[in-house]
Each structure stands twice: as C-alpha cells, then as structure tokens.
Amino acid sequence: MLVARRLFILFVLFYVPMTTQLMGQSLGLTGRVLDQLNGAPISNALVALVGENQNITVTDQDGYFKISLTPNTAKTHVLIVQHEQYEAQNVPIKTDAQRRPIVIFLQWNTDEDMPISDTSYADLTDEGSFDLPFQPGPLQAKGDALTGAQAYDFGGVFYAPRGAARNQKQISIQGVPINDFYSGQASWDSFGGLNDALRQREIQEGFESANYSFGALGGHTDISVSAGNYRPGLKLKAIFSSKTYTRGYALFYRSGLKANGLSYALQWASRFGDGGYVSGNIYDGKSLLFALEKQINGANTLMLTGLYTPIIKGVSSPLTREVLDYHGARYNPNWGMQNGQIRNSKSRQTTQPLFILTYKNHSKGRLSYQINLATQFGLAKQTRLNYSGSSNPFKNYYQKLPSYFLKESPLGSYDYHMAFNARQNIEAQGQLNWQDLYMANGLHLNSGSSYIVQADVRQKQMTVAQALMRYRLNTLFEFRAKVWIRQEREHHYGQIDDLLGGLYYLDVNSFYRGSDPLGKWNDRQTPYRSNKVGAFIDYNFRWQGDQLGLFGQLQQTTEKWNYTAAFECTRNALMRKGLFQNGSFPSQGQSLGPSQRIVFSNIKFKLSGAINWSPRSFSRINTVYLTEPPIVKHTFVNMRQSNELVHGLKASTFHGVDVDYRYQGNSINARIAAYAQRQDDDTKIKTFFTEHAIAAQSGQALVHEIVQGIHTQSIGLQAGLSYDLSNRLALSTVMVFSEHNYSGTPLLYLGSDAFSDPQRPDRVLGSDLTARGKRKVYVNNYGVASGPRQIIHARLQYRDPNYWWAGLSFNHFSKRFADMSFLRRSADTYLDFDGVLNQNFDSNVVSSLLEQEDLGQVVLCHLTAGKSWRLKGKYMSLFLVVNNLLDVAYVSGGFEDSRIGSVFGLAEEADRPGGPLFGNRYFSGMGRSFYGSITLSF
Amino acid sequence: MKIYHLFYITSLLINTACLEDRSFEIPFLKQQGLLIPDDQIVTIPALKMAWEQESNQELYPFLRLTQGYEDKFLEGYVISDDQQGNYYKAFFIQDDPESPQAGIKVLLDQTDISQRYDVGRRVLIQLSGLTVGLSSGVFALGLEDGGALSPVPTTHNGGVVQRDTLVSPISARTLNMENLGPQHTNMWIELSHTQFHRFQSLSLPPMTFAADAMDQYDGERWLEQCASGQYLVLKTSTYADFNTAVLPSDDFTIYGILQYDYFGEYFVLVINGPDDIVMGNSGRCDPLVLDCGPAPGLHPIVWGESFNQRENLSALMDSGWWAPDTNSEALLWSIGSYGGNKYLQITAEASDIALHESWLISPPLSKSVLGEILSIECDIQANFQRGIPLSFWITEQDPQDYSIDVQWDLLNYFIPNGPSDGFGDFKTMGPIDISCKTGETFYLGLRYKQRSVFDTTRYHIDNLRIRSP
C-alpha cells in the first residue's frame, strides 16, 4: 500500500504437518524482477525463500533469478523479493504447481531514510530532576498511517504512544534486549548512525503477538543483523543536516550469500558538527558494525555481530521563560569559546561496543531453536562543571537575571538600575567564560581548583546468555519459550576531567554544615587527598544485578481467528557496594561496603486474540497484566552516597486492554484502536535542590524525592486512515484522543545528606523518613506529562512517474502538560519552613497556584521529498525532510521547578514584580530544520 | 582483493576507535598593564577629603561622583580576600601597599571577588556615576540606594573595576589597641602580642570563631593586647569557611582590616582567614587569680543571696551591701526582675563622657560562721554582650577603710558568654574555691569596669551562694 514505510521481512510462517513428501529432487524456480513504473529489469535484487530453509539468491543484470525449492516440505512457500529502492514483495508460491517462470513487479519505494533515533530535539542532560522524553522514530513505523505518523511526525512534541515512558520501549538486537537495568532504557547512543545496517526490524506494537517478546507499553523492536539477508552491494551516503549534527558519511558493504554459505556485512558511519539547531552542541560520532554469518548444512546458521559506536556530543539544558525570551530556542548556556573553539561544559560520551553470537537452527521438523550469547561493555560518561563552593559561572544563573533585582516591592531606582544592567549583560553575552575560570584557579594555585570539569561515569558490563525455542505441535498450535540469564555490573564514579589551570582538587562537600570534622569529605578514608586529573571524586560505587528469566507462549491459529497466551517471569537480584565512605554517612555499612541484597520476582501474563472478519479486515484484542520491579536507579534512596534502600519497595503493576480494527482495501487502509490501562505502585525518584526540605536545618538541601505508590490511568482512541486519491496522490489522516492522568494519593519522602536527627545530633540520617514520615501527595486527576493528548494529523503525498515524490504533513497538537512537582502537591506544601502548619491560605488561591501548566497548542508542518536516478544498475537517490516548515516557535515539554516547594513560596513567586525567580523550565522545540541525504548504491 | 578489504577494514576500525581528541589547552591569558594617564587617577586620600568637604557629614554623608568624575579612576591595592567567605560582595583597597594613608571599602555585586582581584593587586575603579559615603561606619564606595550604599554591578560603565598586572605584597601597619582611631579604618594592620580573652579561648569547650549557639550573622570575639590591657572585637561571618575553627589559646600576632561593626558603633577587626593569625611564643598575659586549687565538689550551701527579697538597690544596701561611688553620677547596679524572679542587674549606657567603673561589695562574711573550707558559686546571664567588664574579687581588708590601700584578689572563674544582640541564658559560674584566704572575715567585690565606651554588656547575677562541707 501507499504511504510506504520500510518493512522488515515479516516472517509469515505456514505450519505444515510432516505428512506429505514431495519428489526427492530439488525443484528450481525461475523468474524475473521488473520495475513496475517503467518495466525496467531490476538487477541485484535479493530473492529469498522463506520457510524452514534459507534459500537466497540475487537477480542478475537482466533481472533473472533462479532459486531452488527444497523438497518434502511445504505446500506453499513464500518468496520475498527485496531491494531498498523498491518495496519488498512477498509472493506465495505453491510448490507443486509452480514451475513456470514468474514475473514480479516491484513498486518504487518512497522511503523515509530517517536516522533511527529521532533528532527532533537537541540532546538533553540527564540530571535526574526530570524524565527524558520517549524516543519515537523509525523503529516505531509499521507501515500504516498511525504508526508512520507516530514515527515521523510526532517527535518534536515528546509524543509517547499510550503514554509510555522512555524505559517502556524495548529494543533488542538479534533477539538480545539491550535495555539496561539501571534506567530501564536502551542506550540509543550505543547503536546510533547504523541506519542502513539495522533495517531488518520486527516491530511489535504494544503487547501484540510477537515471536519471543512479551511486549512493552511503548512497543518492542527487534533488529536483526543477518548478513545473508542483505542484498549484496555497496552503498555510499552523504548526510547534511541542521538538527543535531551537520554532516555525516556512511558506507555499507554487503557481500551477499556466497556459495560456501558465508556472508558478511560492514557498515561504517561518521556524523559530526559544531552545533546544529541549538548552539554549542558539538557532535562527533563514529559507528562501526560488522556482521558475519555462516550457514552450516542448510539448517543451521552461526552469526557474529559486533557494533561499536563511540560518540561524544554536547548537551543543552532546559530554560526558564525569562531566559527563552531573551535568547530564543537556539540558546545553550553550557558552552563558551576557548582558544577559538567551542567548548561545552556539559557533554555526553558513550563508548559501548556490543558483541552478539547467535546460533540458529531452523530445522524442518517441529522444533527449532536459537541460542544467543552477548556482551556489552564500555562507558557512558557525562561531564559538567563542578563549581561547588564558588559562585555559579553560568550566565543564566538566577542571580544574574533581571528578575532577581526586581524580586521584591517596593522597587527603587537602584533596583531598576541593577535590573537594566543585568538585562544588558544577558543580552550581550550568554555563554560561559572559560578564561574567568582559568583565572580564578590560577590566582589561587595553592588552595586547589575552585572550578573543575567533572565527569560522571558509568562503566558498564553486561553479559547475556539466552536460548529460544519454538515447537510446532501441529498446524494449529505452536509453543515458544525463552530462557535467559543476564548479568549487569556497573561501576559509577565521579572523575576529574580537567583541573582548568589548577594543580589539584580537594574533594570536599562544600554544603556540609555539621560538626563532624571529617564530615565534609566525600571519602572519609582519604581526607586531604590532592586529586589530579583522572582521580575518583564525589562518589564511587559499584552495583551488580542478575536476572533469570523464563518466557512461554502458546499460539493457536486458524483461518478465522487466532489467539496467543503468554507469560514471562523474572527474578532480579540487586546489590550495591560502596567504595567511598561518604563523610555524611560514617556508620558501618551506611556508605562503604556492600548493601543489603534485594530480590524481586515478577510475573507477566497476556492474552491476545484476533478475529479475521474477512480477508480484508480483522480485529485484535490484547489484555495484559504484569508486574515490574523498580529500575535500579529508583531502588536506592541516594545511590551515589549510601546503601540505603527505598523503604517499602514494591513492584509496579500494570493492567491494560486494547482493541483495534483494521481494514485493508484496494485503495483504503483504515485502522481504529482504543485502549484502557492503569499502572499502580510505581516508584519514582527525582533529584533536585529545594528550599522546602523541612527536615534540613535551613530548609535548603539537595534532595532525592522518593514518591511511591504512583497510580496512573489512561484511555485513548487512535484512528488512522490512508486513502489513495489516484495512483499518484495519497492522503492519510490520523487522530488521537487520549487521557493520561494520575489517580489516588502516592506517598513522598526525601533523602539527603543534609538531614540530621534533632533528637540525636550525633547521628546523620540519609532521609527524613523517621523525622517526618511519608507524606501524601495530592495529584488526583493531574495530567501525566507524556506529550500531547490530542492530535490531528493529515498528510498528502505525491508520487511522480519520474521517480520523485513529495509529502506534506500537517499536525495539530493540543493538551500538553508540564511535568509537575510532587513536593509542591504534598502535605509539606502547607508547612512553614519550621514545620508548623500555616493556616493562612485560601483554597481558591491554592488551586490556582497549583494549576498544572498547559503548554499550549502547536501546529507543525513537515515536508519530505525524494528523488532517485537509475544509472546502469546503480542507483542514486536524494532524500530531504524539512521539519517545522513554518518555523513555529514552541516548547516541546517543560517541568515545574521543585525548588519552590510550598504554596507560600508559590504565592511569593506570583507576586514578584519581575516575574518568578524559579519558574517552570522548558525544552524548546526546534524551529525550521532539515535533514537530507544523498545515497549511491551499487 | 582480500588484502585490500583487510586494509580498508583496519583503517576504518582505527578511524572509529579514535574520536577526535577534545583536550583543551590552557587559554593564553593576555596580561596588559593598565595605561591610565595620571591626571585621571584619583587617590583614596584625595577622594576622602573631597567627600568630607563636599558632603553634609551630619545630615547626609554621601557624595555622588558625577561632575568632574566622568573619566576619573580611583587607584588602590586590594587588601581583603573573600575566598574563605568572610566577606560578601565587598572588598577593601588602600592607596599604597607599604605606607598607606587611607583605605576604602568597595561594594561590588559579585561573589568570589578574590578570583579576579587578589590580594596585592593594583586596581583602578571607574568613579563615574558612583557614590561615596558610609557603609557600616566606614568610608565606602558603591551605588546610592535610598540613603545607603549598595553593591555596584560589575559591568557598570563597561567594567567598573579594572585589574592591573601589578601585584605588590602588602605591608601591615603595626598598631596598638590603645591608639586605634577612625583614621586607621579600611587599612591592613598588625597587632602583636594579642590573645583571645581567657573566658573565650580557655573555656571548656573553647569558643569557635563564629559557630557557637549565639552567633546569628557574625561571631564577635574579644581580642586583648597584653601591653595596653585594651581589647578589640574580632568579627567573623557565620558564613566563613573557618567559622567552626576553635579560637587559639596562646598569644599571637594578628593581621586584618580595622572596621566598625554592622551598626557602625564600635571598632572591629576582620581577618581574611585563619592564616592571618600567626602564633607567637611570648605566652599569655592573663591577670593573676586567686588559685586555691581545683574546683571543689558541691558542698551544702551555707550562705546565699537570691535577691528575691530585695525591692530595689536601696533595700540591698540596707542589708549590708555597699557601693562606693567611684566616678559616675548614677549607680549602674539595680535589682531587675523577670518572671517572678529577682536578680542583680548591672549595665552601662554608652556615653562619650568617661568610662564607667562601679563596684558593689558584699557585707562582711565570717569564716567562723560559714566554715573553713568555702567555695563560691552564682548564676550569671550575659546579655547584649560587648566586652567582659564584670569581674569578681575578694579581700580580707575592710573596703570602707580609706586609710589603707585595699588589696583585692581576682577570683579564678569563667564568666559565661552571651549573644551580642539579645538576652542570654542563666548559667552557673563556679564553684570557686576560696579556702586559701586565711583571714577571719572577707568581702566579695563585684566590679564593672568599661574598657571602652561601647563596652556595655548587661549582666544579671542571681543566687550568689557560698558552700561549705
């Protein structure tokens, strides 16, 4: 159908009892592959016979192919014909009847050659005070209007399908999941840039039936890297963009299946730039993938896959409305010029090579299996400027903004003068001044650096061993199982990246206000240590997690209906081991040494069914119940400094049901889906600096806000329709209406090294649990910040017989909410700084102060276009996408700043003549930006 | 072909493994001396003189530097350092590094000023549009803000404070506490043979610079100089990094800047950091006390004065107490009461006239009546503490006998310290052993003697008692 998106080989399996045997001789099938538009032969197209055997060949210069059909197997085979310039075709072949040569016409592919990870927004820092948004992208697209729009058009507004969080999208490569335990997320940076090599995707939407995967709310995508399934050839690509990187090159070489059963593929890519849409976000990424495959005696395949994508990129920060109004969406306060080069104080570096060994057995018998061994190691590192104890040098620091000088009435001429001055400063220069930092360190060489660049490093190591099995009982029933062991070990530490002209650094916690003389040292074991570049500072710990898992699935398929019942159970064991003894946690076992071992056992159940109303229409229903342990990051109160576990840790549970109906006509493709779900007992930890930590002496502390028992409910309706107006023009439209809200009353408490027990001043607690208990958070019916709830999308695409195409999409997003602060809506909000309830509040005023901000409606238009040329068996194609054609200024997302944690603070902020000091912070959406590529395929 | 492939793959691998090396070299800091012609430079003494002459010192002591100052720069050498947190948005400069005549406090809207303007650096400050006047009692430069001076933004006039490449070591001016005057403020001075008052540095536990319970914004501690017997307040901010450090117990030489307290009433010394205190080796010079041995245990009370029966001071006098009128018109002693409890109260109002000295002497106390082994104890509350003017004495001679020169012995005690801007708590002082006084009768003497006009600590003394086994 039109509105084409790249499809991976859909393994449609026909199950045949081993009752009939065909003639012993191998049968040959010949045929020719032609271009449907002009009838020209297509050479070097991949022709594969799908079934129990992997029979692959390639068309010759005139488009002819010959493929052998192995005997005594199926009544029908499926022939797949593939070439990236064209849409893949699945042709059913009846073995006994088909001896005549067949002619296959391939439709020209209007493919969106977008990179895997969506680049609709600049890379963001992961500071722990907000959730990184869901990552949509081509790994979402399944060929229908809805998933296509979700993949390509909804990125810039942080849309999340069914309100899924980032850790609810699962990615696996060769069947090996790459989501890690720590954050539950897949590290997109560990396979970026390999767009061409990772095109063989099996996309599972939500919890729908799939082969070996239970599914996830945000979907699951399994990427196969099978060298034998690539069409042999060489592809060269040049990329130009104005989004995150500005230039890129890629090379993709495939050997194709050789006579001896060996095949290999190699992709190399490089993307770089000095800052795309957002200034200062330098980008330098290299990617390398190799795949080696050997077919052993027809039924078994051994595959070795290796990926290595080292990348370093600058990162920007969310900004308040005041700063955005001065500087706009391209502003990034984190960088400054040094020696004529852009230097970004916040950058993220990932080097995590991944190796997977796969052994597949696809026998013609009932049983087939696969074994995977995988390992990934390396590090994920994020740098930041450490200025503890000195003044904040960033130009968007709140004390440097005009609002700071206009914060209190009555205002005198001095205040206006200072505000005017501040405004001139921020307008004239918003970037970091590196020279000032070097000077500050250089003038006081004897006392250690006041400013350093610190790296927060996660050294990762992951190994997985898994076995998959499929057993066919008969034509109707099929049983699949998967068993795995997964081990992850990580070493987290802070490290000095650059002393900025100083000679050494003293690893001191400059916020420590207690009376213990060793209390201010981040490692009491080695106080007064002068640290040089590369030394471990701030925190140092390891954690290890082990997972045992079992998955089982039963499928029954008939012509009229089919169903799938599946379960998955896992056992996770987790332990932390501190290597520093933090000054605020001196007691035995508090910070240094092993923590308690925590074990979670969880189970998931799902029942999916499908009814085929007619050959053209079918409905599906999925019902799911699952429990999931909190991610490692949300298991410990203050993982960097202490071993303390979150009190009353619980697994979260999920109940969900979704139904959909699809109709596939000649020129109409329609789909309508509805879902209802609830998630209970979720745990979230956010880290931020607040002025309302009542258990701290002055109320000010860096806290870890632990919220438990979070309940969310959502319902939604999604509809997609695509209609061919003619054989050149196609129209598609998508509508989404949904609600995604909090319900119930979660409980909150705070962890911090600033809390001490007033009864026992000699003891330092890591949290205010005993001092204040768990407080209720009143968030019923507030919206979860998961992107727009209502979307209207329309797309028009034109295909011209001269091999060019263009598409224009119109997208209207509304009902988008800022992520709210739990602390502000907890019982703490009515307390004065000394913990005494302040009765002077009017409930109307309180409601208006606690209203959740609606980020507004936004209309985004995107333009895509492509053209291909064919030059004697070689293809050249050009692809271009322009996002936000009308250059609309908008925010992608935003969140409330929990620094102000009480309604009194909020009322004070609302009264400030110059605007709030700690207003909501926003992620700007990109203005008009483009991405384009020129590809040469041989 | 295969070798070619291998070579190609290897080069790709090497290329991938190496991300661009992003190490940054240290930026080259261009140092250029300031070239300002002499006729544009104003010295601090000249500016001070202009201020004294052209402003109304009584009503409105501020001078706005507009006409005639458009292109003028104030020259000075930095003497303060805010790296340890003892200064906030202000720094001090004096006109010459070695023999200064005047200094000035500059209010600048910047934290971590010493990161740019380090000690000894010559700076030139653009005067146009600024105002000079008083800030907490000292000569200061800032922006006018409703009758006071507030910090100047750093980018005022495009960069109000400019650094020179010249950094000179600052020589301290050696002074004595007794001849400190307003002309010595804002300058880097040195006081030798100085110690902290024994009640603050020898107490158990000794006090800290600014981290004791009563310190709210600043900690004020009493420095004494042996030669003169004078004292000077050392002021440390509670936000200073070294506020939790303990006061040194021995004698030392101290360097700092002479200023006034927050309200501009009395002198204080402010240091940059604990390195400004250089330990000496002369030893302390504490007054001789009557040392009868270690503090005795708590014996039963044989004599007491709770002051609850006394209506007023006259009533106290009628019962045998005596107050010789030394040099003041009004007696400073009184009977105070709070919450039903009465106590003896002594305070002095600041006056420019003279320094008060006032005695209150107990009735004669007899050893034959009370016992041979005696110890004294009382409850003391120190309020609005400025200095420690109260002392406790004992004599066996008759104080009212004017024919002899009465010998008083200082008792061996520690008076508790209290907050400088409020009421303290009653704390017990003693028991102090007085058994080694061999005479039959003895008298207790309470002396309140100011060492400066601002020495106005108010003491409440209650439950004076004598114990004997």
Reduced DSSP (H G I as helix, E B as strand, rest coil) percent helix, strand, coil of chain B, to 5: 15, 35, 50
Contacts of A498 in chain B (CB under 8 A): 23-24
CB A105, CB A45: distance < 8 Å: no
Is beta strand A347-351 parallel, antiparallel or unpaired with respect to A367-386?
Answer: antiparallel
Secondary structure class of A98 (helix, strand, coil): coil
Task: Name residue A675's amino acid.
Answer: Y
Alpha-carbon span A455 to A538, nearest angstrom: 10
Report H helices in A332-445. 402-405, 413-428, 434-443
CB interface of B with A, residues 362-391, below 8 Å: none
Nearest by CB to residue B16, choosing from A308, A341, A390, is: A308
**CA-closest candidate to residue B42, choices B65, B24, B64:** B65
Superfamily of domain A27-106: Carboxypeptidase-like, regulatory domain (2.60.40.1120)
> B147: which 2 tokens?
């009758």
Contact B12 A266 (CB under 8 A): yes
Res. B17 pLDDT band, cuts 50 70 90 = low
Distance from CA of B283 to the nearest CA of A (A): 28
CB A535, CB A490: distance < 8 Å: no
CB A918, CB A909: distance < 8 Å: yes
Contacts of A450 in chain B (CB under 8 A): 112, 115
What pLDDT shows up at residue B9?
63
Contacts of B109 in chain A (CB under 8 A): 418
Q: Which residue of A has its CA nearest to B117?
A: A443
Phi-psi category of residue B134: left, alpha or beta, with phi > 0 → left and psi -120 to 50 → alpha: beta
Q: Which residue of A has its CA nearest to B239?
A: A513
Contact B24 A498 (CB under 8 A): yes
CB B298, CB B435: distance < 8 Å: no
Residue of A439, A508, A515, A516 to mutate, testing the B interface (most B Cβ within 10 Å of its Cβ): A439
Nearest by CB to residue B19, choosing from A266, A310, A391, is: A310
What phi, psi does A442 have (nearest 5°)?
Answer: -70, -30
Task: Name residue A419's amino acid.
Answer: A
How far is residue A245 from each of residues A275, A318, A349, measured CA to CA in Å? 7, 20, 15
- CATH 2.60.40.1120 occupies which residues in chain A? 27-106
Quick count: other Cβ atoms within 10 Å of Cβ A409?
10
Secondary structure class of A88 (helix, strand, coil): strand
**CA-closest candidate to residue A154, choices A892, A646, A698, A846:** A892
Burial class (CB in 10 A: 0-12, 13-18, 19+), A726: exposed
Contact A391 B110 (CB under 8 A): yes
Burial class (CB in 10 A: 0-12, 13-18, 19+), B289: middle
Contacts of A284 in chain B (CB under 8 A): 19-20, 22
Alpha-carbon span A751 to B249, nearest angstrom: 40
Could you read off the pLDDT of A207-221 as tens digits, one per residue?
Answer: 998 888 999 999 999
Show contacts of A758-763: CB within 8 Å, 24+ apart: A761/A515
Q: How many beta-carbon pairs under 8 angstroms link A with B?
A: 93
CB B94, CB B186: distance < 8 Å: yes
Is beta strand B277-279 parallel, antiparallel or unpaired with respect to B267-270?
Answer: unpaired
What pLDDT shows up at residue A48?
82
Contacts (Cβ under 8 Å, ≥6 apart) of A205: A142, A147, A161, A219
Architecture of the domain delimited by A138-387+452-937: Beta Barrel (2.40)
What phi, psi does B295 have (nearest 5°)?
Answer: -60, 130
Domain B173-279, CATH class in plain words: mainly beta
Distance from CA of B133 to the nearest CA of A (A): 16
Contact B26 A501 (CB under 8 A): yes
Contacts (Cβ under 8 Å, ≥6 apart) of A42: A33, A34, A35, A59, A63, A83, A86, A106
Length of chain A, in residues: 938
Contacts of A425 in chain B (CB under 8 A): 153, 155
Contact B115 A450 (CB under 8 A): yes
Nearest by CB to residue B27, choosing from A290, A435, A447, is: A435
Q: Of A861-865, B347-351, B392-396, which gets the smallest average pLDDT? A: B347-351
What pLDDT shows up at residue B318?
83
What pLDDT shows up at residue A760?
58
CB A866, CB A875: distance < 8 Å: no
Nearest by CB to residue A443, choosing from B12, B24, B115, is: B115
Q: Does residue B89 register a pLDDT over 80?
A: yes
Contact B116 A341 (CB under 8 A): no
Contacts of B156 in chain A (CB under 8 A): 421
Contact A339 B28 (CB under 8 A): yes
Using a CB–CB cutoff of 8 Å, tell me whether B114 touches chain A.
yes
CB B72, CB B128: distance < 8 Å: yes
- CATH 2.40.170.20 occupies which residues in chain A? 138-387+452-937
What pLDDT shows up at residue B308?
87
**CA-closest candidate to residue A188, choices A280, A311, A339, A276:** A311
Using a CB–CB cutoff of 8 Å, tell me whether B27 touches chain A.
yes
Quick count: other Cβ atoms within 10 Å of Cβ A72?
12
Alpha-carbon span A809 to A860, nearest angstrom: 8
Nearest by CB to residue A439, choosing from B17, B116, B150, is: B116
Q: Angle at CA A28, nearest 5°, toward A23 and A34?
A: 145
> A119: which 2 tokens?
């680049």
Contact B118 A443 (CB under 8 A): yes
Greatest pairwise CA separation for chain A in angstroms: 100
Contacts of B12 in chain A (CB under 8 A): 251, 266, 268, 288
Could you read off the pLDDT of B188-245 as tens digits, one per residue?
Answer: 999 999 999 988 998 888 899 998 888 888 999 999 988 777 889 999 999 898 888 8
Compute the Cα dihedral for A36, A38, A39, A41 and give only its sign.
Answer: negative
Asked whether the domain spanning B173-279 has the same topology as the one spanning B38-167, the reply is: yes
Compute the Cα dihedral for B279, B283, B289, B290 and give only its sign.
Answer: positive
Distance from CA of B312 to the nearest CA of A (A): 41
> B51: which 2 tokens?
């201020």
What pLDDT shows up at residue B353?
61
Task: Name residue B442's amino acid.
Answer: F
Mean per-residue pLDDT of chain B: 86
Contact A444 B114 (CB under 8 A): yes
Q: Which residue of A has its CA nearest to B11?
A: A268
Q: Which residue of B has its CA nearest to A340?
A: B27
Burial class (CB in 10 A: 0-12, 13-18, 19+), A936: middle
Report H helices in B338-416. 367-370
Q: Angle at CA A760, nearest 5°, toward A509 and B415?
A: 90
Mean of pLDDT values over B440-447 = 89
Burial class (CB in 10 A: 0-12, 13-18, 19+), B400: exposed
Alpha-carbon span B46 to B25, nearest angstrom: 45
What pLDDT shows up at residue A307?
94
Contacts of A442 in chain B (CB under 8 A): 29
CB A505, CB A448: distance < 8 Å: yes
User: Looking at the domain B301-467, which fold is it?
Assistant: Jelly Rolls (2.60.120)
How far is residue A89 from each of residues A15, A52, A78, A105, A288, measured CA to CA in Å? 21, 19, 10, 9, 30
Mean of pLDDT values over B149-178 = 88
Contacts of A354 in chain B (CB under 8 A): none
CB B448, CB B357: distance < 8 Å: yes
Nearest by CB to residue A439, choosing from B12, B20, B29, is: B29
Quick count: other Cβ atoms within 10 Å of Cβ B439?
11
Contacts of A287 in chain B (CB under 8 A): 16
Quick count: other Cβ atoms within 10 Å of Cβ A209?
21
Contacts of A440 in chain B (CB under 8 A): 112, 115-116
Alpha-carbon span A184 to B422, nearest angstrom: 57
Residue of B16, B23, B243 to mutate, testing the A interface (most A Cβ within 10 Å of its Cβ): B16
Whether residue B431 has a cis bond before it, omega within 30° of 0: yes
Q: Which residue of B has its CA nearest to A269?
A: B16
Residue of A414, A432, A450 to mutate, testing the B interface (most B Cβ within 10 Å of its Cβ): A414
Residue matched to tokens 């200082």: B410
Q: What ranges do the domains of chain B cover?
A: 38-167, 173-279, 301-467
Q: How does A499-534 read in b/e, with b if 16+ C-beta sit within 10 Å?
A: bbbbebbbbbbebbbbeeeebbbbbbeeeeeebeee
Secondary structure class of A438 (helix, strand, coil): helix
Alpha-carbon span A521 to A531, nearest angstrom: 13
CA A326 from centre of chain: 31
Using a CB–CB cutoff of 8 Å, tell me whether B244 touches chain A.
yes
Q: Of A590-599, B410-419, B446-455, which gets the smallest average pLDDT? A: B446-455
Which parts of chain A sit beneath pLDDT 70?
A: 1-27, 50-54, 70-76, 94-99, 111-112, 117-127, 515, 756-764, 833-835, 839
| CATH (one of 2.40.50, 3.30.70, 2.40.128, 2.40.30) for B38-167 | 2.40.50
Q: Which residue of A has its CA nearest to B142?
A: A414
Residue of A288, A352, A446 to mutate, testing the B interface (most B Cβ within 10 Å of its Cβ): A288
Contacts of B147 in chain A (CB under 8 A): none
How far is residue A558 from each of residues A148, A213, A315, A801, measured CA to CA in Å? 29, 21, 52, 41
Contacts of B25 in chain A (CB under 8 A): 339
Residue of B19, B157, B241 to mutate, testing the A interface (most A Cβ within 10 Å of its Cβ): B19
Using a CB–CB cutoff of 8 Å, tell me whether B13 touches chain A.
yes
Contact B9 A266 (CB under 8 A): yes
Contact B153 A421 (CB under 8 A): yes
